[in-house]
C-alpha cells in the first residue's frame, strides 16, 4: 500500500543560526521530541534521516522538532568535525572556538522548556557485541546501538527511565532487521563514573540538565545509506510511539522507497530569478548569470548548502556534491518586466522567473517589452533576440542541456546586458 498524502510543513528556520530548525507541531499532547542530525559531518545516515523526517512526516499529535544539519560545514566537507569533534564541546568551550555559537544555540534548544526528549543521530564504527569478535564486532564498536549515559534520571521530567526505553527501542528494531548481523544493542556508557570523554558530549549535557537523551548509532559498515536511514527512522518512530506522538508519512518504510526519497535532491533557487532541479543535473554548468556579491541560495532540502570556490559555487546536498556552477557576473537588472509568457505546444503559459515549463514538441518565447531572450543551446545568427521563434528539440545543441538526459534547457531574459531572470524548458 502506498500513501498519497499531501501535507503542509511548518517551517520555522531561525535565521540567525548556523543550522536549520524545523518545528512540526501537532495538537493534543505537549510532548516534544528533538531530533538532531549531523553533529558529525561524515555520518550521513544521521543527517539524511533527519531530512527525511523534516520533509516527509506530518505530525498529528505531540511535537517533532528537527535539526537536520547541526554541523553544516563539516557535513559539506564530509568530515567528522572540521574544527574538531563537536560532540566533545558541551562541557566547557572557549568562546573563540569556531563552533562556539552553534554549540551555544543548540544548548538553548536542548534546555528549552518544551523539549521532553532528545535524540542525537550517528553512524558508528562496526557492530557492537559484548564479546570481542574482531575489529568490526566488539565491545568498543558503536554501530547498531542505542546509547545511554546512565539508566535513569531522577527528578520530575517524563521519560526518565532511559534504560527501559532504550531496551524497548532495541527490541522493536530487532524485529525489523535486514540482515541478522545488524542486531541492535543498548550501550550504557555509564558516563558519570566511567567515561571522562563522554562528559563533554551533547547527550551528557542534556541529562545533566534533566532532559532524557539518547544517541542512536547505526553502523558505518552497513552497505547502503538507505539501510542507515531505515534503521534510524524505525528507531525514531519507536520513540514517537513511546511519547504518544502520532504521525503520518508519505512513503512506506522500506529500503526501496527510502532509496528513492534520498536520491531526489530537490531544487535550488538563486536570487529568486533562477531555479534548477538538482536531481540528474550535470556535474558542472557554465556561464550561470549571478551577481558579483550577495547571491542568495535557497534549497527545497534542509541539508542543501553552497560553497564558494574560485568564483564558482559548489552545490551540496548533505555530503554529496551535486553540481558546480561556473558563473558569469552581470549587471543588476533594473527594469524587469516579469510577465513572461511561453507558448508550449501551442498553449500560452504565463510564467515567473525561476520557474519551469514542460513541452512535448516545441515552444515560442513571446516578446516582452523590455527583455531580450537568449535560449542557451539555440543559435541563429540572424536574431539577437530569440523571442517569437519556434524552437523544437532538434534545433537545440544538446551539449547545452542542464541535465544528464539532455531534456532541460535555459531560457534567459536580459535587459540590455543585465540578467533579469531564467525559465527552464523541460522536454518530456
Ligand atoms: Zn558520530
Distance 124 CA to ligand 1 centre (A): 6
According to DSSP H, which parts of 175-299 are helical? 191-194, 202-207, 225-242, 255-262
Distance 225 CA to ligand 1 centre (A): 15
Q: Is pLDDT above 60 for 9? A: no
Cβ distance 53 to 162 under 8 Å? Answer: no
Better-predicted residue by pLDDT, 11 or 194: 194
For 319, other C-beta atoms within 10 Å of its C-beta total 21
Ligand 1 ion: Cβ-proximal residues, 5 Å cutoff: 40, 43, 122
Tell me the three cell numbers of residue 92: 566547557
Distance 121 CA to ligand 1 centre (A): 7
Q: How far is CA 422 from each of CA 17, 65, 154, 273, rounded to the nearest angstrom?
A: 30, 35, 59, 6
Distance 80 CA to ligand 1 centre (A): 7
pLDDT tens digits for range 338-363: 779 999 999 999 999 999 999 999 99
CB-facing half-sphere around the CA of 312: CA atoms within 13 A: 12
Give the least confident one: 119-133, 148-162, 390-404.
148-162
Average pLDDT, the chain: 92
Distance 74 CA to ligand 1 centre (A): 12
Q: Is pLDDT above 50 for 8? A: no
Distance 254 CA to ligand 1 centre (A): 24
Q: What is the mean pLDDT of residues 60-80?
A: 97
* pLDDT range class, residue 329, cuts 50, 70, 90: confident
Q: Can you tell me the distance from the alpha carbon of 342 to that of 364, in angstroms, rounded to the nearest whole number?
A: 6
Q: Can you tell me the distance from the alpha carbon of 80 to that of 127, in angstroms, rounded to the nearest whole number?
A: 19
Entry pTM: 0.91
The residue assigned the cell 534549497 is 299
Q: Is pLDDT above 80 for 256? A: yes
Strand 27-36, strand 117-124: pairing: parallel
Q: What is the mean pLDDT of residues 254-272?
A: 96
Cβ distance 154 to 196 under 8 Å? Answer: no
For 74, other C-beta atoms within 10 Å of its C-beta total 25
173 DSSP 8-state letter: H
Tell me the three cell numbers of residue 355: 520557474
Task: Name the helix (H) or strand (E) containing 288.
Answer: strand 284-290
Q: How far is CA 66 from each of CA 52, 213, 298, 380, 383, rounded to the nearest angstrom?
A: 10, 14, 18, 51, 52
Write down all domains in the chain, each with its CATH number in brackets: 22-262 (3.40.630.10), 267-329 (no CATH), 340-427 (no CATH)
Distance 15 CA to ligand 1 centre (A): 26
For 316, other C-beta atoms within 10 Å of its C-beta total 23
* pLDDT range class, residue 6, cuts 50, 70, 90: very low
- Write down the pLDDT at residue 11: 39
- Write down the pLDDT at residue 388: 94
Q: What is the mean pLDDT of residues 238-257?
A: 97
Answer positive or negative: Cα dihedral of 177, 178, 179, 181: negative
Distance 166 CA to ligand 1 centre (A): 18
Q: What is the mean pLDDT of residues 249-261?
A: 97
Share of the chain above pLDDT 70, in %: 95
pLDDT tens digits for range 274-308: 999 999 999 999 999 998 888 999 999 999 999 99
Q: Residues near 130 by Cβ (< 8 Å), separated by ≥ 6?
A: 139, 185
Q: Can you tell me the distance from the alpha carbon of 321 to that of 300, in angstroms, rounded to the nearest whole number?
A: 16
Distance 43 CA to ligand 1 centre (A): 6
**If we measure between CA atoms, which residue out of 322, 320, 319, 359 comes closest to residue 342?**
359
Strand 284-290, strand 185-188: pairing: unpaired
Distance 406 CA to ligand 1 centre (A): 39
pLDDT tens digits for range 376-412: 999 887 888 999 999 999 999 999 999 999 999 999 9
Give the least confident one: 4-18, 53-67, 386-400.
4-18
Q: Is pLDDT above 90 for 330? A: no
Provide Rg for the chain, Cα atoms.
Answer: 25
Answer positive or negative: Cα dihedral of 292, 293, 296, 301: positive
Phi and psi angles of residue 5, each rounded to the nearest 5 degrees, phi first:
-120, 120
Q: Can you tell me the distance from the alpha carbon of 230 to that of 251, in angstroms, rounded to the nearest whole number?
A: 12
**If we measure between CA atoms, which residue out of 249, 286, 242, 293 comes closest to residue 271?**
293
Q: Can you tell me the distance from the alpha carbon of 126 to that of 132, in angstroms, rounded to the nearest whole number?
A: 12
Distance 120 CA to ligand 1 centre (A): 9
* pLDDT range class, residue 193, cuts 50, 70, 90: confident
For 138, other C-beta atoms within 10 Å of its C-beta total 16
Coil, helix or strand for 105? helix
Distance 41 CA to ligand 1 centre (A): 8
Amino acid at each position: 500500500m502506498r500513501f498519497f498524502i499531501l501535507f503542509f510543513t511548518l517551517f520555522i528556520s531561525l535565521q540567525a543560526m548556523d543550522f536549520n530548525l524545523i518545528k512540526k507541531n501537532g495538537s493534543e499532547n505537549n510532548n516534544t521530541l528533538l531530533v538532531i542530525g549531523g553533529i558529525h559531518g561524515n555520518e550521513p545516515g544521521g543527517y539524511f534521516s533527519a531530512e527525511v523526517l523534516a520533509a516527509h512526516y506530518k505530525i498529528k499529535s505531540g511535537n517533532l522538532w528537527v535539526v537536520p544539519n547541526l554541523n553544516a560545514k563539516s557535513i559539506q566537507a564530509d568530515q567528522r568535525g572540521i574544527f574538531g569533534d563537536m560532540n566533545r564541546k558541551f562541557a566547557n568551550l572557549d568562546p573563540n572556538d569556531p563552533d562556539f555559537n552553534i554549540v551555544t544555540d543548540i544548548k538553548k534548544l536542548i534546555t528549552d522548556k518544551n523539549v521532553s526528549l532528545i535524540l542525537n543521530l550517528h553512524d558508528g564504527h562496526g557492530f557492537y557485541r559484548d564479546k570481542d569478535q574482531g575489529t568490526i564486532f566488539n565491545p568498543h564498536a558503536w554501530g547498531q546501538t542505542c546509547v545511554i549515559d546512565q539508566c535513569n534520571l531522577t527528578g520530575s521530567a517524563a521519560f526518565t527511565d532511559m534504560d527501559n526505553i532504550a531496551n524497548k527501542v532495541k527490541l522493536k528494531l530487532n524485529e525489523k532487521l535486514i540482515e541478522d548481523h545488524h542486531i541492535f544493542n543498548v550501550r550504557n556508557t555509564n558516563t558519570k563514573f566511567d567515561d571522562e570523554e563522554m562528559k563533554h558530549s551533547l547527550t551528557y549535557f542534556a541529562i545533566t540538565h534533566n532532559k532524557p537523551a539518547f544517541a542512536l548509532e547505526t553502523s558505518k559498515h552497513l552497505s547502503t545509506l538507505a539501510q542507515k536511514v531505515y534503521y534510524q527512522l524505525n528507531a525514531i518512530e519507536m520513540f514517537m510511539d513511546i511519547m504518544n506522538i502520532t504521525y503520518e508519512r508519505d512513503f512506506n518504510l522500506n529500503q526501496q522507497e527510502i532509496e528513492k526519497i534520498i536520491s531526489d535532491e530537490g531544487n535550488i533557487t538563486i536570487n529568486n530569478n533562477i531555479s534548477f532541479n538538482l536531481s540528474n543535473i550535470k556535474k558542472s554548468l557554465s556561464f550561470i548569470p549571478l551577481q558579483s556579491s550577495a547571491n542568495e541560495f535557497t534549497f527545497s532540502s534542509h541539508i542543501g548548502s553552497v560553497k564558494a570556490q574560485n568564483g564558482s559555487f559548489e552545490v551540496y546536498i548533505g555530503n554529496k556534491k551535486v553540481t558546480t556552477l561556473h558563473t558569469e557576473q552581470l549587471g543588476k537588472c533594473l527594469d524587469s518586466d516579469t510577465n513572461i509568457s511561453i507558448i508550449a505546444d501551442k498553449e500560452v503559459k504565463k510564467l515567473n522567473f525561476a520557474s519551469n515549463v514542460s513541452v512535448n514538441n516545441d515552444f515560442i518565447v513571446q516578446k516582452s517589452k523590455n527583455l531580450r531572450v537568449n535560449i542557451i543551446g539555440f543559435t541563429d545568427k540572424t536574431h539577437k533576440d530569440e523571442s517569437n521563434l519556434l524552437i523544437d528539440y532538434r534545433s537545440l545543441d544538446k551539449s547545452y542541456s542542464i541535465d544528464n538526459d539532455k531534456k532541460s534547457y535555459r531560457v534567459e531574459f536580459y535587459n540590455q546586458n543585465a540578467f533579469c531572470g531564467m525559465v527552464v524548458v523541460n522536454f518530456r
